[in-house]
Structure 1
Amino acid sequence: MTLLHLEYVFLWFLFYSFCGWVYESILVSVKERRPVNRGFLNGPLCPIYGTGAVLGVELLGGIRNPAVLFAVSSLGACALEYVTSWAMEKLFHARWWDYSHFRFNLNGRICLLGAIVFGIGGVAIVDGVQPWVAHVTGMIPLPVIHWVSFVCLVLIVVDTIVTVAGIVNFEQSLDQLSAIVAKYGDAMRERVGDAVDAVGGASGRVGGLVGDKVNDMVGGAMNGPLQSGREMSAEFMLKIRETADSVFNRQQRRMIASFPRLRTERNNEALQQLRDAFDRMYRGRKG
């Protein structure tokens, strides 16, 4: 394999990674009913899509039977997705996507629906899209190929370093958030204690404002008489937002927004309640 061919493969990787990013961003944005800038990296790329596509092009290009190509693409893509999910969980102590809510899933890392989509995508790419992509990239002057490949490679390496460095201490940031919000919760519990007694002799719990978990922190603290402790006060939501902005760095905040099903090994309940607070604030701004 020549250096020039590697450069072409790298350009194909960039193209399919960008297409994967567009697909994921649209899909998740529709599900979440808000704009979601999907992707592990800062740039508009989903590398797992680019990796799967170029592996399919390079390894499966000689398969002419669509049924065989579909089956091999499905199995290969699922294997890649499973290994990637497992490796990222071991590295960052977090589950970035979870298919447990889908039927016929394997440990929440892959699912039957995804396998079908990947199989169809493999047939479409190898038999339909790739010949066109190869033709277009073949028309690019060689000096441009060399420079674009070099610049993009440097940008991706820098992006990867910045991203990994930013999220490596994600769980520690969750610990810090829980401790800080607990102090706000204690102060607010004191402020609303009299209101709790006035509404009917409540036991002193402010709709769940108790302990050192964010789940307990965001459950109550109403501005007036308590209403079952299920709505957060605007003041408390703002305090959570301010605390999160001070505790989490830019990369960590981006991950929370980009991966709605992100789960951590520790403090996962705190993460979910923090996301719930952000979602309520987003719906409030839309209203």
Structure 2
Amino acid sequence: MLIVYYIIYFFIYAIIGWAIEVTYNGIREGKYINCGVLNGPWCPIYGFAAISILFMLGKVNTYSKLFLFFASMIVASIIELITGFILEKVFHKKWWDYSDKRFNIAGYICAEYSLIWGALCFILYEAIHPMIVKLISPFPIKILIIINSVFAIIFIVDTVATINTILGINKKFKEIEKSKTKLGEVTTEIGERIAQKGIKTAEKTSDRRKEFDERSQEFKNNFQKYGEKRLLKAFPNLIHDLEDKAYDFENLKNRISKK
């Protein structure tokens, strides 16, 4: 019945991982952010990473702390790399991006966070997991099966709902990508008019600026559902393209006003 224990460990570590993420982002941002992909208080990537590390390291007969640390770091980094790659291929956008960090691989993973994951996983394996085992071991298998079943049902419902939300976001992103071409044309047109005909002509483009502003706001207002707003808040990198375009246009308007 080893699978029963691995399932409960998955949920426990998914919840612990979620709590760590919420705490970290709460300290950094000064506010609560549900930073998981799913709506519930769990981050599956932490659950998968934990049980993968427990399973793999459990097969290695070594007492080397250094080996355990680097093995934990590698396993966690591979899982983050694969997850980030799959999400980008499906949605054509990075859910997180470490490109501004040193020693990163395609923005999916970087040395800084890999070391953090390695340290966390090492602590999990050496200190936290033994306590979890002591906490879980007294429960009869039948009770654990019931607990696992309840969590699994809630988890599946949450996953289906989140997938539905993500598909909706992906559809809207495709619509936005089409409209962004139009926005780029507006920006280019204003720039060309400034260069070719001077300030007076640029002032005549106020209606076009208004159109750009309205479209930018319209795009952001597209994501009004709770699940959509939560995901974009948790993974702001998903909508950075639109924000960057709006930022570029604001700079253009400032240049117009200064002339």
Which category of TM-score, normalised to the shorter sequence, fits these structures? 0.7 to 0.9
Residues 244/75 of structure 1: CA separation in 2 closer, same or farther (3 Å cut): same
- Pairing 1:260–2:256 present: no
In the other structure, the counterpart of 1:35 is 32
1:159 maps to 2:158: yes
User: Structure 1 residues 208, 109: CA separation in 2 closer, same or farther (over 3 Å shift)?
Assistant: farther
Matched, 1:217 2:213: yes
Query: Do the aligned partners of 1:174 and 1:271 also contact (CA within 8 Å) in 2?
Result: no
CA positional deviation for 1:177: 6.2
Q: CA deviation at 1:246?
A: 5.4
Which residue, 7, 12, 32 being the options, matches 1:10? 7
Displacement of 1:171: 3.7
- In the other structure, the counterpart of 1:269 is 241
CA-atom RMSD in angstroms: 3.1
Report SS of the residue matched to 1:95: coil
Secondary structure at the residue paired with 2:236? coil
Change (3 A) 1:246 1:114: closer
The percent of aligned pairs where both chains have the same amino acid is 25
Deviation of 1:86 after TM superposition, in Å, equals 0.6
Q: In the aligned structure 2, how far is the partner of 1:141 from the partner of 1:249?
A: 42
- TM-score, length basis structure 1: 0.69
Matches within 5 A, 1:30-69: 30-61=27-58, 62-69=61-68
Judging changes above 3 Å, is the alpha-carbon distance between structure 1 residues 92 and 177 closer, same or farther for their aligned structure 2 residues?
closer
Superposed counterparts of 1:113-262, under 5 Å: 113-174=112-173, 201=200, 203-206=203-206, 209=209, 216-217=212-213, 240=217, 244-245=220-221, 248-262=224-238
Give the structure with the larger helix fraction.
Answer: 2
Contact kept? 2:52, 2:75, Cα under 8 Å = no
Secondary structure in 2 matching 1:94: coil
Residue 210 of structure 1: how far off its partner (Å): 6.0
Query: Match for residue 81 of structure 1?
Result: 80
- Deviation of 1:70 after TM superposition, in Å, equals 0.8
Question: Does the 8 A contact of 1:177 with 1:244 survive in 2?
Answer: no
TM-score normalised by the chain length of structure 2: 0.76
* CA shift for structure 1 position 32: 3.1
1:47, CA displacement in angstroms?
0.7
Deviations 1:149-188 (A, max 9, x none): 0111111111111111111132432455686xx9xxx9xx
> What's the CA shift for 1:248?
4.5
- Separation in structure 2 between the aligned mates of residue 169 and residue 115 of structure 1, nearest angstrom: 32
- Alignment CA distance shift 1:90-1:36 (3 Å): same
Measure, in 1, the Cα distance between the counterparts of 2:208 and 2:64. Answer: 60
Q: CA deviation at 1:139?
A: 1.7
Superposed structure 1 runs of 4+ greater than 6 Å apart: none
Task: Give me the whole-angstrom Cα distance separating, in 1, the residues matched to 2:122 and 2:158.
Answer: 31
Over 3 Å counting, the alpha-carbon distance change for 1:205 and 1:163 in structure 2 is same
Question: Is the CA contact 1:7–1:146 (under 8 Å) kept in the aligned structure 2?
Answer: yes
Question: RCO higher in 1 or 2 (8 Å CA, sep ≥ 6)?
Answer: 2
Distance in structure 1 (CA, Å) of the matches to 2:145 and 2:241: 48
Amino acid at match of 1:270: L
1 CA distance for matches of 2:151 and 2:71? Answer: 30
- For structure 1, which runs of at least 5 residues remain unmatched after alignment? 187-199, 219-235, 276-287
Q: Is the 8 A contact 2:37 2:231 kept in 1?
A: yes
Is the Cα contact below 8 Å between 1:85 and 1:109 reproduced in 2?
yes
SS of residue matched to 1:168: helix
Q: Secondary structure at the match of 1:38?
A: coil
Partners of 1:166 and 1:250 within 8 A in 2:
no
Q: Indicate how the Cα distance of structure 1 residues 114 and 207 shifts in structure 2: closer, same or farther if over 3 A, else same.
A: farther
